[in-house]
Amino acid sequence: MTTGAGLAGRSALVTGAASGIGRAVAAGLAAAGAGVVLADLDGDRCEAAAKEIEAAGHPGRVAAAVADVTDPEAWARLTRTARRCFGYPTLLVNNAGVLGGHGLAGVTADEWDRVVDVSQRGTWLGMQTVVPFMHLAGGGAIVNVSSVFGQIGSGAAFAYHGAKGAVAAMTRAAAVELAAAGIRVNAVSPGLVETPMTVGLPEQFVADFVAATPMGRMAVPREIAAAVLFLLSDDASFVTGTDLLVDGGYAAK
């Protein structure tokens, strides 16, 4: 994975970091010289991911933390951890998310609350909590992980579409609001990615999605992480308010 400019010595927070895209982002940040707090609801897997990143040649650059991104107090604890370990957090990746497969008619209130709370509320709380430290530090960069389903319909996953569409809208709103303070806010919208979260998807859905993807395959986490690292880095110093599709051409049809 290539690394972007200006990441060394920075303090970063990555949610949903125990596996998949979040873990790949955290590993890439550590390799680029940043100090990274890996946050996840699954504390054991998060700790294991942090130890693996350290063992890969990045000792002292990672810390693991259990966090429910829907809880403001959890975010306060995360920022305290980041400040104690690496200084004011100036890089934030809101990656935590959960799937919900039902269409409009089948969505329950519990499914709606669970999917929207993690993706939409979690992203809002993350930005609201971390941005004040970016102000103190004189700037920062945020990447929110949305989805190709934030831009197009699929005929299912109604709550997931709604949540990811909101993430993209919040990204644009925050980008305009924070630009003058030197804080850039962007989104990355993956297509289908080989992660533990997608392992349980119906085989026919996966086959149809891959068949409809011009590049003819799913992504792997490092391909999404590379896009995230670019947007966090100084190489993207004039990029804010964008939603970068990393979907193998799926939305271009």
**Domain containing 51 — which CATH number?**
3.40.50.720
Whole-angstrom distance, CA of residue 243 vs CA of residue 229: 14
pTM: 0.96
Gap between the Cα atoms of 50 and 194, Å rounded: 20
Number of domains observed in the structure of the chain? 1
For 166-216, write each residue's pLDDT tens digit. Answer: 999 999 999 999 999 999 999 999 999 999 888 878 888 899 999 999 999
Q: Is residue 122 a part of any domain in this protein?
A: yes
Question: Is residue 2 in some structural domain?
Answer: no
Tens digit of each residue's pLDDT (9 = 90 or more) over 117-146: 999 999 999 999 999 999 999 999 999 999
- Residue 2 pLDDT: 45
Is residue 253 included in any domain, yes or no? no
In angstroms, rounded to a whole number, what is the distance separating the alpha carbons of residues 171 and 166?
8
Active site residue 160: yes
Q: Which residues form the domain of 176?
A: 11-244
Instruction: Report yes or no on 153 lying in a domain.
Output: yes
Q: Which tokens go with 108?
A: 């329950």
Average pLDDT of the segment spanning 87-105 = 94
Q: How many CB atoms lie within 10 A of CB 88?
A: 18
pLDDT value, residue 253: 83
Q: Kindly state whether residue 191 falls inside one of the protein's structural domains.
A: yes
Q: Which pLDDT belongs to residue 155?
A: 84
Residue 1 lies in a domain: no
In a domain, 115, yes or no: yes
| List 75, 86, 160, 250, catalytic entry | 160
Residue 1 scores a pLDDT above 70: no
> Does residue 5 fall inside a structural domain?
no
